[in-house]
A = this chain, B = another copy of it.
Amino acid sequence: MHSFTEENYLKAIYHLLVRRQSATTNDIAASLGTKAASVTDMLKKLSDKKLIHYARYQGVTLTTNGESIALGIVRKHRLWECFLVEKLNFKWDEVHDMAEELEHISSAKLIDRLDEFMGCPAYDPHGDPIPNNKGQIINQQLQPALQLSKHQSGIIAGVADHSPAFLQYLEKTQLIIGETITVTDLSDYDISVSLKTTNKEMNISREVAKNILIAI
């Protein structure tokens, strides 16, 4: 149907629009590891195919069609991650690269069967919502743990940084999806946040607190 490359562009544009409200040539190039000139070439092609709205120098948005393809890729990526973690016992920091390949397996029937096999999960191992087979997706309202005030509690529901290093750190410190945390101290001059979980108390950096997402 569409090439892997086209699918990757549409997905990158989708993520940029979700996360930053805009998708520029340089942003797309950075997220795909290509050069801006290559992106411009592809934007013309995607525009010709009516998958994006594109006006020179103005950045892009997805057409209805383009967005539904992007959501299909995101759905596959996240469902395969569920499979890898829950059935094949991979850790949540190990699955992304495999899912980057698996998301391009074309069969819609396969992915719907996988969805069923996994029990139609709503979220992937990183807390990201899984679009259903009509492309509908739950829009989670999450906030960085850093924004919690002193004595406030919340449940960890996602991460803003998906890097293996960060995920491994969270795993090691038991700051995992579903865990309830309570802020015990917030310091202005120091750069750390003190908190307690069900089992223990700990101190995390502002950087970490910024990347842990709490359900509101």
Give the B-binding residues of A (Cβ under 8 A): 84, 87-90, 97-98, 101-102, 104-107, 110, 113-114, 117
Q: Which residues of chain B are within 8 angstroms of A105 by Cβ–Cβ distance?
A: 98, 101-102
CA distance A143 to B82 in the complex (A): 43
> A85 to chain B: closest CB distance in Å?
11
**Can you list 9 A-B contacts (CB < 8 A)?**
A84-B110, A88-B110, A88-B113, A88-B117, A89-B113, A97-B107, A101-B106, A101-B107, A102-B105
Q: Which residues of chain B are within 8 angstroms of A98 by Cβ–Cβ distance?
A: 105, 107, 110
Most chain B C-beta atoms within 10 Å of own C-beta, residue among A107, A113, A114: A107
Q: Which residues of chain B are within 8 angstroms of A106 by Cβ–Cβ distance?
A: 101
Report copies per complex.
2
Most chain B C-beta atoms within 10 Å of own C-beta, residue among A98, A106, A110, A113: A110
CA distance A15 to B82 in the complex (A): 34
Q: Which residues of chain B are within 8 angstroms of A84 by Cβ–Cβ distance?
A: 110
Q: Which 10 A-B pairs have the closest CB atoms?
A: A88-B113, A101-B105, A98-B107, A98-B110, A88-B117, A87-B117, A102-B105, A101-B106, A88-B114, A89-B113
CA distance A104 to B105 in the complex (A): 10
Q: Which residues of chain B are within 8 angstroms of A107 by Cβ–Cβ distance?
A: 97-98, 101
Q: Which residues of chain B are within 8 angstroms of A87 by Cβ–Cβ distance?
A: 117
CA distance A178 to B102 in the complex (A): 32
CA distance A117 to B117 in the complex (A): 14
> A151 to chain B: closest CB distance in Å?
43
Q: Which residues of chain B are within 8 angstroms of A97 by Cβ–Cβ distance?
A: 107
Q: Which residue of chain B has its CB nearest to the CB of A87?
A: B117
Apart from the given pairs A84-B110, A98-B110, 8 other A-B contacts in the complex at a CB distance below 8 Å: A88-B110, A88-B113, A89-B113, A90-B113, A97-B107, A98-B105, A101-B104, A101-B105
